[in-house]
Amino acid sequence: MTLMEKARNGKTDTIMEEVARQEGVEVEFIRKGLAEGTIVIPYNTRHKNLKPKAIGEGLTTKINANIGTSEDYSDIEVELEKLRVAINNGADAVMDLSTGFRITETRKAIIKNSSVPVGTVPIYQVAVETLQAGKAIVEMTVEDIFNVIIEQAEDGVDFITVHCGLTRAGIEHLKREGRITGITSRGGSFLTAWMKHNNRENPLYEYFDRLLEIAYQYNLTLSLGDGLRPGCLADATDRGQIHELLVLGELVDRAREAGVQTMVEGPGHVPFNQIKTNIKIEKELCKGAPFYVLGPLVTDISPGYDHITAAIGGTMAATAGADFLCYVTPAEHLGLPTVEDVKEGVIASKIAAHAADVARGNPLALARDKEMARARKNLDWESQIKLSLAPEKARKARKERNTRERDVCAMCGQYCALKIAEEALN
């Protein structure tokens, strides 16, 4: 039985209890959300030592860190280090997006070492193995795709990105309107090329029922990918993107009917003033399915600093109702992230998630900021460091600059407003 089915049968279990504790909500709230599909808990029982995390309406905002090898950087140990750094800095989930050598071995190692849910994009493996077999990507077969999905589910993957809503009709809308950056989703580009070459519909759409059967069997959470997500601000919220979302909404209905947990993926590059609309339209078209957004990036011109750009968009998105933020690292648009990039990306995303939780009035989030405010007022530096989202950096900066070891800081020194005002106000 899937978690969704169990919840619909009015049953709770230790997984639901655990996430209820994390969130400070009643387990019934979790059960109801799971039953209605507004909450998902990516959880594959084959993934050992997994600490469950819930994503969705009424919960704290979760963040995901993409890791994984590429052709040019294909070291499993480095990816495991990224995994550790991501989790230590607060990632709620990771995705293994490997396209390098030893792709299966990499995935197994990541799942084995991850205490948080692990997601993948199975079509990457299909593409890599098709090329390795000396064929072109467009020559992958429908069987290849489903075989890899089953293989990954067997390995213990908790959620998979599947671009099921990318259809021939959607591509026609995109082509008629025109775009600057075309398609920037890798999965989206593979499938588009496949559809054109084979003159067939997207197999993940055509055989969606088969996908649902597999997902049901493994309690796999489907993350319905946005193959036509905009790759620049000018392409945002266009007809190709919205057509795909409309199809995804229909697929959410079908997945729910089949008792399969489902979330929906969203952009991407979106001007700040269009983010709220993007969230609201997803929530409407997909009937409250958890929304998993990449960034969004609020400008195209900050390579090297896209973790900041994404944190800006992510805060707006989550405040407006997005449930799950995919981090972006400083390496975005430039290359595969390093371990350090992963760390900076996670922290930036965590700031966005927390700021949004505060804006949404989450009691746990509000309490933490209040505690920090009190520590600050009391010039209690040890508590300030402990309460911070990135204690390591805060401690280092405090230590390096506070050479005279005073209770004030090296910016204001004896002109510390808090101290001066304390006396004056009493």
Cβ atoms of 285 and 326 closer than 8 Å: no
Q: Least distance from C-beta 360 to its own copies, angstroms?
A: 8
Q: Least distance from C-beta 8 to its own copies, angstroms?
A: 34
Task: Indicate which single residue of 137, 150, 246, 364 sits in contact with its own copies (rule: CB under 8 A).
Answer: 137
Q: Least distance from C-beta 253 to its own copies, angstroms?
A: 28
Q: Least distance from C-beta 219 to its own copies, angstroms?
A: 29
Nearest residue (CB) to its own copies, 285 versus 372: 372
Q: Does 70 bind its own copies (CB under 8 A)?
A: yes
Cβ atoms of 259 and 216 closer than 8 Å: yes
Task: Indicate which single residue of 161, 221, 262, 309 sits in contact with its own copies (rule: CB under 8 A).
Answer: 309
Task: State the CB neighbour count (10 A cutoff) for residue 199.
Answer: 7
Q: Does 303 bind its own copies (CB under 8 A)?
A: yes
Q: Where does this chain touch its own copies (CB under 8 A) — which range of 56-64, 194-202, 214-222, 259-267?
A: 194-202
Dist. CA 107–CA 93, nearest whole Å: 14
Task: Indicate which single residue of 60, 130, 184, 202 sits in contact with its own copies (rule: CB under 8 A).
Answer: 184
27: CB partners within 8 A, 6+ apart? 12, 16, 17, 20
Dist. CA 37–CA 262, nearest whole Å: 7
Binding to its own copies (CB under 8 A): which residues in 2-61? none
Dist. CA 253–CA 262, nearest whole Å: 9
Dist. CA 330–CA 34, nearest whole Å: 35
Q: Where does this chain touch its own copies (CB under 8 A) — which range of 50-58, 121-129, 142-150, 154-162?
A: 121-129
Place of tokens 């350090």: 340
352: CB partners within 8 A, 6+ apart? 61, 63, 310, 311, 312, 313, 314, 315, 318, 325
Helix, strand or coil for residue 95? strand
HSE of 376 in the Cβ direction (CA atoms, 13 Å)?
11
Q: Where does this chain touch its own copies (CB under 8 A) — which range of 15-23, 109-117, 257-265, 299-307?
A: 299-307
Q: Does 139 bind its own copies (CB under 8 A)?
A: no
Helix, strand or coil for residue 131? helix
Binding to its own copies (CB under 8 A): which residues in 196-225? 196-197
Nearest residue (CB) to its own copies, 210 versus 395: 395
Task: Indicate which single residue of 16, 76, 233, 317 sits in contact with its own copies (rule: CB under 8 A).
Answer: 233
**C-alpha triplet 157, 160, 162: angle, nearest 5°:** 155
**Which H or E element spans position 120?**
strand 118-120
Binding to its own copies (CB under 8 A): which residues in 75-104? 99
Binding to its own copies (CB under 8 A): which residues in 265-284? 271-273
DSSP code, position 269? B
Binding residues for its own copies, how many (CB under 8 A)? Answer: 111
Nearest residue (CB) to its own copies, 14 versus 414: 414
Dist. CA 152–CA 121, nearest whole Å: 10
Dist. CA 42–CA 389, nearest whole Å: 25
Binding mask 387-426 for its own copies (x = CB under 8 A): xxxx--xx-xxx-xxxxx----xxxxxxxxxx-xxxxxx-
Nearest residue (CB) to its own copies, 192 versus 261: 192
Dist. CA 421–CA 170, nearest whole Å: 61
Binding mask 342-381 for its own copies (x = CB under 8 A): -----xx--xx-xxx-xxx-----x-xxx-xxx-xx----
Q: Least distance from C-beta 319 to its own copies, angstroms?
A: 6
Dist. CA 40–CA 371, nearest whole Å: 31
Q: Where does this chain touch its own copies (CB under 8 A) — which range of 40-48, 53-61, 142-150, 292-300?
A: 292-300
Number of residues in the chain = 426
What type of residue is 106? T
Dist. CA 272–CA 295, nearest whole Å: 11
Task: Indicate which single residue of 46, 102, 287, 333 sits in contact with its own copies (rule: CB under 8 A).
Answer: 333
Nearest residue (CB) to its own copies, 168 versus 254: 168
Q: Where does this chain touch its own copies (CB under 8 A) — which range of 106-114, 195-203, 254-262, 277-285?
A: 195-203
Q: Where does this chain touch its own copies (CB under 8 A) — which range of 9-17, 29-37, 139-147, 311-319?
A: 311-319
